[in-house]
Amino acid sequence: MSGPREGERPRVFVARQIPAEGLDVVTAASAADVWEDELPPPREELLRRIAGCEGVLTLLTDRVDDEFLDAAGPALKVVSNYAVGFDNVDVPACTRRGIPVGNTPGVLTETTADLAWALLMASARRVAEGDRYVRAGRWRTWGPQLLLGGDVHGATLGIIGFGRIGQAVARRAAGFGMTVLYWDRVAGSPELERELNATYADFDELLAQCDLVTLHVSLNDETRHLIDGAALARMKPSAVLVNTSRGPVVDQAALAEALANRTIAAAGLDVTDPEPIQMDDPLLRLDNCLVVPHIASASYATRGKMAEMAAANLLAGLGGERLPNPVNPEVYER
């Protein structure tokens, strides 16, 4: 393993080609080894390439754990994750070694809320199914009962997880004259509820009352399989479930069963468990399930801003400065 030498630019590994807004900054300031393939570096290759690096820019597909930190070695000063979510990072392991971890909060809130809405509307109104119907040459006439779905306007929307993204989803509901219920571990302030016209509901009550349910929790031990068979059974048969959070928040086998049995009407998924979804997953055989490949933050502007933020975190860490967005600020209190 080789560490940095005095006067040399810091060695950095960048686990994928992020947009130029960030990559150019990183390559200008460091001796950067950039993984150019579309697929993530295989584990062995990742561990080999990070050896002796002072900084690593990771993606949600790269697991950062003790093995990773051992492989990087004592020169490592910072891990910058190109995502707001950081369930791929063992944060306590980084903190124990005094390594700050950065993420990209805020910039993807609105873009992610846009996609949650796209999935809510497309699932309720069977847009993907309609497109498949046309392309299959099945459109023969206007049909009074063709591809009927649920109304979005005037419906009751349930938001599970009321952080930045959940709130941005609620804000958009105003244009559709909806009743908005939300659930989180703690209720929001009365001012926030007034501003967003949203009412706190008990988890089971929300599931039972809502026509559309959208998930915005982060993944942790408490939220893994939060939506399991029992939760799905509480929902209305006409209900739509949307997930733009993390795949394992939903018990995917239970969801496939609920969709097949019409326990609920439809689902729109941006995230699956695992990713990518296996091609033999029962969900892919169901017309009432819409799946897109984890693209909630995928607008040109937002991915560019995420790259800028990830680069800023990386460079701050290399320079021994506080990261603009640390997920473990406790490293600075040691």
Nearest partner of 240 among 166, 173, 115, 150, judged by Cα: 150
The DSSP secondary structure of 182-220, one letter per residue, reads: EE-SSPPPHHHHHHHTEEE--HHHHHHH-SEEEE-PPPS
CB of 27 to ligand DGY, least distance (A): 22
Nearer to ligand DGY, 201 or 249 (CB): 249
Contact between 245 and 252 (Cβ < 8 Å): no
153 is catalytic: no
CB of 284 to ligand DGY, least distance (A): 21
Residue of 49, 216, 246, 303 marked catalytic: 246
Nearer to ligand DGY, 91 or 108 (CB): 108
> Is residue 229 helix, strand or coil?
helix
275 is catalytic: yes
Nearer to ligand DGY, 214 or 288 (CB): 214
DSSP 288: T
Residues contributing to the site for ligand DGY (CB under 6 A):
60, 83-85, 108, 297
- Looking only at the bridges linking them, the beta strands covering 266-269 and 240-243 are parallel
Nearer to ligand DGY, 60 or 118 (CB): 60
List, in order, residues 6 or more apart from 149 with CB less than 8 Å away: 124, 125, 126, 265, 266
Residue of 275, 285, 321, 330 marked catalytic: 275
Residue of 11, 16, 294, 303 marked catalytic: 294
Task: Give the rounded distance of the alpha carbon of 65 from its chain centre.
Answer: 20
Nearest partner of 85 among 195, 245, 233, 251, judged by Cα: 245
> Is residue 276 helix, strand or coil?
coil
Contact between 105 and 332 (Cβ < 8 Å): no
Nearer to ligand DGY, 165 or 318 (CB): 165
DSSP 285: G
246 is catalytic: yes
Which active-site residues does the annotation give? 246, 275, 294
